[in-house]
Structure 1
């Protein structure tokens, strides 16, 4: 059985694919290498290309085999930790853009604008046509932006905020994030490896741990404090993202929700983080019951640090950024994150997530629920 084989031989398989852990392969590179070295263990490039050409409802479910493989690798202590470190290394794209960003302080991407001003990296989500709904391009742009903010020595603090929308319903208003792009999920364009796993193991984990460089004797990671500013709403992946920030400012008319259970999928690492932040009862109400939390109700203070009138957001953001720029903040937030989210616990959660989410995106209920978005 595939699962038993990978679980039994995970360390051996991983060492053979990475030359004894001398090579750092990202998850997409790892599954491609495994397809060549271990025929039949995971889908080939040709098989995955055929899958990508089909809507979700017509796929053969080959990503489930990828989920089985990655579950086994992540469960193995040495291989799993090495893979996490590989995913925390800067992307090739970010390294190519770094000289330009250091010099100009601006990088404009399709889904994200990054601008450095007075030591702050302002990351603005700018997919105004879809209310910053998440897809593969958005994840790629976000990881690039986070890498650049962490690697630029002139940046001391990072901040994420939604830009102004052209969508008729929110014309001229800022929106943080509408969650996963359900139309893309229905059309088969939300992959397990390049989206669902990459966003968790890539840029979101980098906000927590930092980017892995291995350059310093006192820490192999370059990490910095992060602030999030929520205008209008943070739905799904947007709400998930808030759980890793050091400070969150929200407008009083904003709201938060994790509708993944209604959609049929698992809301990333929220099941790992939310109970710690809100307590188990509220976490179950939000994740299992689809409860929406308004910024002006008491439980919102479990998710955000400050709630201010919409017209006071800029002032509150400036004040919070100044407080995060204190000398001792970086070391203390590193120790807080280590205590609150031990790497081994995160690794074990993500191992199970790799398989369970792979199964969920092919569930009949998910196909049925998101199918209506395919006609749009």
Structure 2
């Protein structure tokens, strides 16, 4: 906590309230420690644990509703520093004991299967919902997440020189002014995990920062997976193997993905260049090309692109409700594209939309036969290579997705998605998935 806050009456009130939360959290941890580990608890012990968590989480919620802006100011030196999500929750654990789990407890949880976790990320969800709901802290955090990552800044000189980046999940190549991002997790049908989120954000940052790039293109690469060997695939959505293993985190995947590279596709990357007074964000138009399928997170991605092409034998689906989770900002964006009825059919009922269906034209700009797909993609990319495109897409995005509306949605998403990660139905599904793989 900063000295400036500690020296004010409001600071004294904050310290007193934080101390009460810390005491309640310590007592809760002692009670939980007397129980079996989460995966081994009896029904009676699970009920006791739920009651313990409910009591202390109610205290955390009340504290953050009253003090979110003060807490955030303390962690960011009065909003003078751009702090990313992971750094923010880590700093909160140090400065306000008991408010969010510390690094040691999270590391211990990380090594457990999803069903064997205590659900500590729910406390991060409580914290981040309050931060994002704050009229001062929320916008500052969203802007901080639009800054280029340190990894991208480190790689930028080499990329501007060579025009090529190879990562585990993504290949980025600049050719003829086009940043060509190819998702290349060929073994898992481009199913997303934290590695891919990091690689995608790095690639998007580089494409936006490189002055030689005018337009971006995203496409899936050819697969080695037995079911689709040799075929291009856009994305199979969230990596269920990683989810079962407890390797899909709220902060490192679910929130970073939405507030990081996907937001940058919409709003651009923020820089410190004072010469960009007319627009501090560097924005560029983007095209997506769908081969075979775009499932789950892959379908979510399509909703932020300026144009989408699909091969005629491909389909889109967003089965998050059946998987038990919330499809990112898909609920926020999909209805605007399809209308509320079809959006509910897709999200709540798992409806699959084939590229050749009339309803697909609400989500796809052009449907092309596979043997003509490459040529159609090149023609589509050239259509977005115009001087007025960036200004017009900026105004379209401002009208269709006002930042304040997005912030309010993401605030509630932070909590609801954290709860869904530990819902009994989700744990049952990922447990059965793990058993099938075994």
Normalising by structure 2, we get a TM-score of 0.85
Structure 1 residues without counterparts, runs of 5 or longer: none
3-state SS of 1:134 partner: coil
Cα distance between partner residues in 2 of 1:176 and 1:358: 27
Cα distance between partner residues in 2 of 1:220 and 1:103: 24
**Does 1:59 find its partner at 2:121?**
no
CA contact (8 A) 1:214 1:221 kept: no
CA contact (8 A) 1:252 1:309 kept: yes
Count of residue pairs the alignment pairs up: 376
Q: Which residue of 2 aligns with 1:293?
A: 353
Cα distance between partner residues in 1 of 2:350 and 2:385: 36
3-state SS of 1:288 partner: helix
**Does 1:201 find its partner at 2:245?**
no
Q: Which residue of 2 aligns with 1:176?
A: 234
**Does 1:108 find its partner at 2:166?**
yes
Alignment of 1:337-376 (within 5 A): 337-375=397-435, 376=437
C-alpha deviation, 1:214, in angstroms = 4.0
Cα distance between partner residues in 1 of 2:117 and 2:351: 32
Question: Aligned match of 1:224 in 284, 293, 307?
Answer: 284
Normalising by structure 1, we get a TM-score of 0.99
**Does 1:277 find its partner at 2:317?**
no
Alignment of 1:247-262 (within 5 A): 247-262=307-322
**Does 1:186 find its partner at 2:244?**
yes
- Runs of 4+ aligned structure 1 residues displaced above 4 Å come to none
**Does 1:124 find its partner at 2:186?**
no
Cα distance between partner residues in 1 of 2:81 and 2:387: 35
Structure 2 residues without counterparts, runs of 5 or longer: 1-58
Which stretch has the larger CA shift, 163-172 or 128-137?
163-172
Question: Aligned match of 1:323 in 383, 387, 393?
Answer: 383
Which structure is higher in RCO with an 8 Å CA cutoff and minimum separation 6? 1
Larger Rg: 2
Q: Which residue of 1 aligns with 2:213?
A: 155
Cα distance between partner residues in 2 of 1:186 and 1:146: 28
Cα distance between partner residues in 2 of 1:187 and 1:302: 36
Cα distance between partner residues in 2 of 1:272 and 1:349: 7
3-state SS of 1:31 partner: helix
Q: Which residue of 1 aligns with 2:60?
A: 2
3-state SS of 2:119 partner: coil
C-alpha deviation, 1:220, in angstroms = 1.2
Cα distance between partner residues in 1 of 2:142 and 2:75: 15
RMSD: 0.6
**Does 1:267 find its partner at 2:316?**
no
C-alpha deviation, 1:134, in angstroms = 0.4
**Does 1:47 find its partner at 2:116?**
no
